[in-house]
Structure 1
């Protein structure tokens, strides 16, 4: 209910018309001086477009509004892709730093016993795995060798052919990749011992120690079933295996 107090001044619901006019003028000047403020605000732009479509009526199709909606949807997808790429880049950088730290730690020991001990403790902690096993094939039966047992649980000496059978589950002719990632629980305790009861994923890195030497394998076991998945990239683990091979050649020479 409007009430007239003085000539030239009218109040509506307690607000002077002059004050409203002043506010509108200030808003107009603000928009004209900084139009990006409006253009960068999606909520305001949506409200303006909706008001424009409403003023056109129901029998008119605003193609500009439809095009803008499609562009906005495409922009949202691009932003999601951009965030995914950045996240993947950070993950890759973190993984690279992790492998580098593990390699530097692996190069520190001056004895083979210290090398194996560090492999099962410090290196495993850096790689965030729960169990590491170094598997070496040997024609001789070394299972009962006292010297081998003194080197700890990390080293497993097995008969020739064990590595290929373990990687392929005994399937003849099955391809053997340099790095195998899989989600499973080991069928026996032959490799991990008692830890086989809670290992749910593993990375198997094949090792080549040079001509005339039996092959080897580095097994990384994790309790987390999603730690190693077949769809993951293997470049960093392949690099780690290459450095590990060269370090082992020094101990085997």
Structure 2
């Protein structure tokens, strides 16, 4: 049984609430333009019929257009996500295949040939060119015979433009000092630092893209870092180098 006090509490009208006029309602709706559109029940109550007269504003077409626009936007987002997922999956498979090929190299020369020759790492990753660069010291004369490219002292920092671990750049003209005769085919690049050991000079993994947007600054670099760490470990293993500092 409902007591009198309970009836007062259930009353839909709160006598103590401040009164609202049309200007208050209008101000609220102007500040919250999606309030009516996002409330299906409210919209159903206030939606004017299409045959209520020529002076009635027909909101139906407006609402339908808004909803259609949102559907198109969601479809575009879904399409972009699917495309990005497919590209990331493809890149992951390529990097994993490259890592396995480097780990399977029967000797150091075979490893370097796979990394630096056009039908090796570059082909696996769909690139124009790939190379390993190392700064010049008195200990690296053999590097030129196995495909390593030599940089002057401090050349890694100069190429990287600072101390960042990687650098991804779109719309570039490939440098002959990095890519040799394949430089003219390079239009974007990924540069990743290589730290083989505490007794060797700094190095660089240079990957030259065929497409101007194949590498770009907004791109994630986790797979490239993984690839560089595999290169470091393989070189360290074959040359019997001590660990990094």
Structure 1 unaligned spans of 5+: 1-51, 169-174
4+ long deviations beyond 6 Å: none
Aligned residues: 189
1:1-253 alignment, distance < 5 Å: 53=50, 55-119=51-115, 120=117, 121-140=119-138, 142=140, 145=141, 147-151=142-146, 154-168=147-161, 175-182=162-169, 183-186=171-174, 189-253=176-240
More strand by share: 1
SS in 2 for 1:133: strand
The structural deviation recorded for 1:211 is 2.5
Distance 2:197 2:81 in 1: 39
Distance 1:76 1:109 in 2: 50
Shift in CA distance, 113/141, structure 1 to aligned 2, threshold 3 Å: closer
The structural deviation recorded for 1:72 is 2.2
Shift in CA distance, 97/198, structure 1 to aligned 2, threshold 3 Å: closer
Distance 1:206 1:155 in 2: 14
Mapped contact 1:178–1:205 kept (Cα < 8 A):
yes
TM-score, normalization: structure 1? Answer: 0.67
Mapped contact 1:184–1:200 kept (Cα < 8 A):
yes
Distance 2:163 2:52 in 1: 67
Distance 1:110 1:228 in 2: 31
Mapped contact 2:144–2:150 kept (Cα < 8 A):
no
The structural deviation recorded for 1:141 is 7.3
Mapped contact 2:173–2:186 kept (Cα < 8 A):
yes
Shift in CA distance, 201/65, structure 1 to aligned 2, threshold 3 Å: closer
Shift in CA distance, 234/148, structure 1 to aligned 2, threshold 3 Å: closer
Distance 1:193 1:123 in 2: 16
Mapped contact 1:133–1:219 kept (Cα < 8 A):
yes
RMSD of aligned residue pairs (Cα, Å): 2.1
Deviation readout 1:152-205 (Å, 9 max, x if unpaired): xx311333211111222xxxxxx332121113114x532322222332221111
Distance 1:244 1:148 in 2: 15
Distance 1:71 1:122 in 2: 51
TM-score, normalization: structure 2? Answer: 0.69
The structural deviation recorded for 1:112 is 0.8
